[in-house]
Each structure stands twice: as structure tokens, then as C-alpha cells.
Amino acid sequence: MHVSDDFLDRVRTEGFAIMEGFLSPDEVADARHALFEIHPTPEQYFADPTPHQHLVASQFSGLTVAPFGAWALNQIAFHPDLVDAAERYCGTADLQLYKIELWAKYSGTVDYDQPHHRDFGNHSIAVPRADGRWPQLTSFILLSDVTEDDGPTKVVPRAIGDREPMVPALVEPGRFAEDEVAVTGPAGTLFSYTTDVFHRGSTMTGHERARFALLADYSARGNPWMGKMSWPNSGNQRGWAELISRASVRERDLFGFPPPGHEYWNDQTVRDVGLRYPELDMEPYR
């Protein structure tokens, strides 16, 4: 679903926005089918948690970094409506998709509660500009229904959180307990926020509950103090060749793949990239 200018204005002014129905029911169904090829369904997990203890060894054990071995999951990170929103938010089409993660949480073992924190700590080696210049757009796309029982993200409106100095990037637990907003909604909901807004993970209070979300983060290209992942490090991972081969020219560009017409391309690189990715249509790069 198209992301409105009003949604992006709320991200700028309030630090976050929540939109139900970003993914269509068919997109949600395809993503969940692919998701459960990677992680157990709630029914599978709770029937016998023992084989899946690696997913709940810590708060972050359920995080999986892209590429995933499933196109239906990979493509959500560069969903055309998300890319369009990121272009408008960042004020440029010259974007980098600097992080994609899949996060699975299961209740009963791990306490997912966190102090309120700002994400710039591991998205930048500097700090965000308070005037919004050089923005980063971070997003959760919910792949399961999330209620108060499912450990929703809790976010603090900018008008309240901005009373705190930029540093340190976290505050003691409970500081904003009366002011936080729970990010709840059905599967397919989009939650976007800035790296300088306070938020936290919360405890899963429901019995035999699971929460799944795909995280995708964007910024303008060419700001070396921002980022989180190095995509070349993923080049030998399962799913990478399919991702690059099935993506469009524009979608490859989001990962830093040399665009058509770039001086990188010559007879040798066209030939050898084609050998590396046999399913990739090299014609646009000749």
C-alpha cells in the first residue's frame, strides 16, 4: 500500500508512525510461508521447544541477517512502496538499503524487556542532526499479529523524548513508562521511526506467543558515517545469488551493485559477473 506524505511527516515530527495494511493479505501469506521455512511455526515451537533453544538463548538470538533463502522475504525489504517512501523521506533516489533483518521471538524463555534507547548507537559512528538533515528511515514490517501480549515495541513521542540530551543513547528502565506507545497491529503493519527516537522491546506476557518482523533501513548513499551491514560480506551466503539475479536493475542499485553505464563495466566485468550470476540478465550492463 502507498505510504502517504502524512505518514512520513509524522515520522519527521513525532519520530515514528504506524500504518496497518502496508502489505496485502497475499504478500503476508507468501512472506509467512517463506518465514516458516526458516523458523518454526508457533505450533511447532511450543509442541517441543528443545530443538529450537538456539532461537531463545538471548534477546537477539532470533535475529537472522539477510539474504534469506526465500525470495518472498527478501523482496519485502525493497517493496516498491517502501522504496518510494524512503526516496521521499530521504529526499533522493540515490538510496542505500543498509540493513535487512528477520526477527523471531517466542515467549516463555527470554525476557525481551529493554531500557528505552536510541538506535543511532549502532547505525552511525556519529549522531543524528537534530534538524533532520541526512536522515535514516528505519522500519519494522510485522509478519504476525501483534497485541499487547506479544511483546510489542514501545516508542516514545519525540516531544517527550527530545527533552533528553542526545547522549547517552539510552536511559534507565521505566523513565518513559507513562508516555510510550505500543506498536501493535495485524500482520502487514508498517512501523517506521528515526534513529534518534527512544523506543524499547517489551516483555511477551501472553502464553505460547510468537512475534515475527522484518526490519529494513534506508539512508541516502554517500554518508560513510551511517550504516550497519556490508553487503559484500553476504556475497557467498545462501540466497544472495537469487536475490541479485531476481532483483530489478533499480533494486540491485539499493545494495550498491554498479548501475548500467558506470565506468566499472567493461567486457571483462560483464563476462565475469555473468559467470558469477548465471541467472542474471547482463544485457543492461553491456
User: Which cell numbers hold the place of 20?
Assistant: 496497518
Single-letter code of the amino acid located at 94: D
Single-letter code of the amino acid located at 219: S
**In a 10 Å sphere around its CB, with 0-12 CB exposed, 13-18 middle and 19+ buried, how is residue 54 labelled?**
exposed
What is the model's pLDDT at position 27?
A: 98
What residues contact residue 249 under an 8 Å CB cut-off, 6+ apart? 259, 260, 284
Mean pLDDT by 10 residues, the chain (286 residues): 98 98 98 96 97 96 95 97 98 97 96 96 95 96 98 97 94 90 98 97 96 98 94 92 96 97 97 97 96
Q: Which residues pair with 210 in a beta bridge?
A: 106
Residues 249 and 285: their CA atoms lie apart, in Å, by 9
Supply φ then ψ for residue 16, to 5 degrees. -165, 165
Residues 121 and 118: their CA atoms lie apart, in Å, by 7
User: Which cell numbers hold the place of 262?
Assistant: 558506470
What is the model's pLDDT at position 174?
A: 84
What is the model's pLDDT at position 172?
A: 87
What is the model's pLDDT at position 38?
A: 94
Q: Which helix (H) or strand (E) holds 42?
A: helix 42-47
Q: For helices 80-90 and 5-14, what crossing angle results, to 10°?
A: 50
Tens digits of per-residue pLDDT, 112-160? 999 999 999 999 999 999 999 999 999 999 999 999 999 999 999 999 9
User: Which domains, and CATH codes, for the chain?
Assistant: 5-228 (2.60.120.620)
What is the model's pLDDT at position 238?
A: 87
CB atoms within 10 A of CB 37: 11
CB atoms within 10 A of CB 205: 12
Unique residue bearing C-alpha cell 540515490:
94
Contact between 187 and 27 (Cβ < 8 Å):
no
Q: 3-class DSSP state for residue 272?
A: helix
Q: Which residues pair with 100 in a beta bridge?
A: 216
CB atoms within 10 A of CB 105: 23
What is the model's pLDDT at position 25?
A: 98
What is the model's pLDDT at position 173?
A: 83
CB atoms within 10 A of CB 139: 24
pTM (predicted TM-score): 0.95
Residues 116 and 182: their CA atoms lie apart, in Å, by 13
Name which of 79, 94, 88, 78 is nearest 4 in CA terms: 88
Q: Which helix (H) or strand (E) holds 13?
A: helix 5-14
DSSP code for 228: S
